[in-house]
Structure 1
Amino acid sequence: MTDKVALVTGAARGIGLATAKLFIEQGWQVAMVDRDTDELNAAAKQFNEARAFSCDVSRSDDVIEMVSEVLASFGRIDAVVNNAGVADFRPLEETTFADWRRVMDTNLDGVFLVSLATIPALKKTKGAFVNIASISGLRASTLRVAYGTSKAAVIHLTKQQAAELGEYGIRANCVCPGPVRTKLAMAVHSPEIIAAYHDSIPLNRYGTENELAEVITFLCSDKASYVTGQVIAADGGFESTGVGLPALRD
């Protein structure tokens, strides 16, 4: 067991929830953060080692209050996983500024705000940031002008964190998931899209939420103590073969 504490945003479901579970299995305590209060509370009830903190990461005041509450509850923060995100898939010419801002508010501004609020705590513990981007931030794809651009910016923000915070012992790395078998993905991906992804992924399958959590928790651990400023695509090899599936144009 360890006395380390991880703060995980977007923890009510999907990769965030899987990451919280794995941290707990590895002996960490977890501050689970999400704006979906009901689902967050239901998820956190599974664990004695976790506490729920309702927060919209796109709101600066809410973030500052949330981090203060986490520190009051746990006394420290050793790792921050910036996982909260939203998606919007539509052609560039049909994307309004309101669509663009909705994605940027959470996917980019949220990462910045949570990071800024937690830097003082991570300085004390010489902790780690792991920011969740996407392979859509590494390579352009169809229907992802706002989403992909936000994730590309998160990748660069991660490198800025590594460059500027390394002198304090803070590490910062970025994980870029490929297609993951989440409930949401399975609900919106047609059989044609699923088959097209399988054809384009060298491992010929979607990843699992737990496989992503394994990479995330590793980067937060002492086993990755000399790893910072890195961008890791956990995608079954998808990024290496390109993106932009014809099936996604429909």
Structure 2
Amino acid sequence: MSRFENKTVIVTGASSGIGAATAKRFGREGANVVLVSRSEDKLKRVASNIPNAKVVAADVGNKEDAKRVIDEAQSAFGSVDVLVNNAGVVTTGTIDEVDEDGWDTVINTDLTGVFHMTKAAWPALKASKGNVVNTSSVSGTGGDWGMFAYNAAKGGVTNMTRALALDAATSGVRVNAVNPSLTRSELTDGMFDNDDLMKKFTDRIPLGRAAEPEDIADVIAFLASDDARFVNGVNLPVDGGLSASNGQPNQA
């Protein structure tokens, strides 16, 4: 398929995990891909497998960096057609354990970073009638034990997605989000090494496994494509059926 030929796609958090898989997926479909993260070396490794790629080392939590990403994308490829806001970090701990620095770290990247990137890209997206796909989380639709800062950030992304879709009603820009459950990545590798913990997760997921990055990337590509042209303001669970449950344990 070449659904994104001659289109420019920006993917933040593209150095690993969902972001890397997403950048590669768009590349396979003919897109010009702008890969963004703070790690230039990791970005270059991912970009080496993408025919039309540009690497931009930047911190999405910094307003000037976000503007620079958009400027460099337009300079390299002439337009911005899709923005994938995927950059994210996790701060764990209860309110007793998380200090101001920990709170600021996750909010600045996971929530304010989405604002900075979307704000900077908005004029270009209106010009191209493009769209935004945010990576939220099932943690943005319900609480987790010991992750209140991450829950707050992803909850903000979830509802920002809805509100932006309303505000964009007359602009032709669509805004959607994916809400993954546990997905293999650098952030979660330690969890995958814990067999007891993984069993607790997989027992709750009807499909019986955690997600691979490609599982999420494929859905992001769908939401960004013309196949989803009438999909707007949606937070789409990509969770193997986890959200279908009311929380009661499996008694089968």
Question: The TM-score by the shorter chain falls in which range?
Answer: over 0.9
Paired residue secondary structure (1:6): strand
Match of 1:216 among 214, 217, 220: 220
**Change over 3 Å in CA distance of 1:208–1:242 after alignment to 2:** farther
1:187 corresponding residue in structure 2? 190
Q: Does 1:81 align with 2:84?
A: yes
The answer to whether the 8 A contact 1:141-1:243 is kept is no
Matched, 1:148 2:151: yes
| Structure 2 stretches lacking a partner, 5+ long | none
Q: What is the identity, as a one-letter code, of the residue corresponding to 2:94?
A: P
Question: Normalising by the residue count of structure 1, what TM-score does the alignment of the two structures yield?
Answer: 0.94
What amino acid does structure 2 have at the position aligned with 1:178?
S
Which of 44, 47, 58 is matched with 1:44 structurally? 47
Residue 40 (structure 1) shift: 1.1
Q: Is this contact kept in 1: 2:80–2:130, CA < 8 A?
A: yes
| 2:125 match | 122
The alignment of Structure 1 onto Structure 2 pairs a total of residues equal to 245
| Amino acid corresponding to residue 99 of structure 2 in structure 1 | T
**For residues 115 and 209 of structure 2, what CA distance do their matches in structure 1 show?**
32
User: Does 2:211 align with 1:203?
Assistant: no
1:17 and 2:1 are equivalent in the alignment: no
Q: Does 1:176 align with 2:200?
A: no
Residue type of the alignment partner of 1:198: T
State whether structure 2 residue 174 is matched by structure 1 residue 167.
Answer: no
Aligned equivalents of 1:159, 1:123: Cα separation in 2: 17
List runs of 5+ in structure 1 lacking aligned partners.
246-250
1:173–1:219 contact (8 Å) kept in structure 2: yes
Q: TM-score, normalised by structure 2?
A: 0.93
| Partners of 1:134 and 1:184 in 2: CA distance | 14
Contact 1:36/1:54, CA 8 A, preserved across alignment: yes
Which secondary structure does the structure 1 equivalent of 2:36 belong to?
A: strand
Mapped to 2, the partners of 1:18 and 1:5 lie a distance apart of 16
For 2:106, the equivalent position in structure 1 comes to 103
Identity of aligned residues (%): 35
Question: Structure 2: how far apart are the matches of 1:126 and 1:72?
Answer: 18
Runs of 4+ in 1 over 3 A off after TM superposition: 242-245
Read off the aligned partner of 1:66 and give its amino acid letter. Answer: V
- Does structure 2 conserve the Cα–Cα contact (< 8 Å) formed by 1:139 and 1:243? no
Higher helix share: 1
- Which is worse superposed, 186-195 or 93-102? 186-195
* Structure 1 residues 116 and 62: CA distance shift in structure 2, 3 A: same
- Structure 2 Cα separation of the partners of residues 35 and 185 of structure 1: 19
Report which stretch shifted further, 128-137 or 61-70. 61-70
Q: What amino acid maps onto 1:199 in structure 2?
A: D
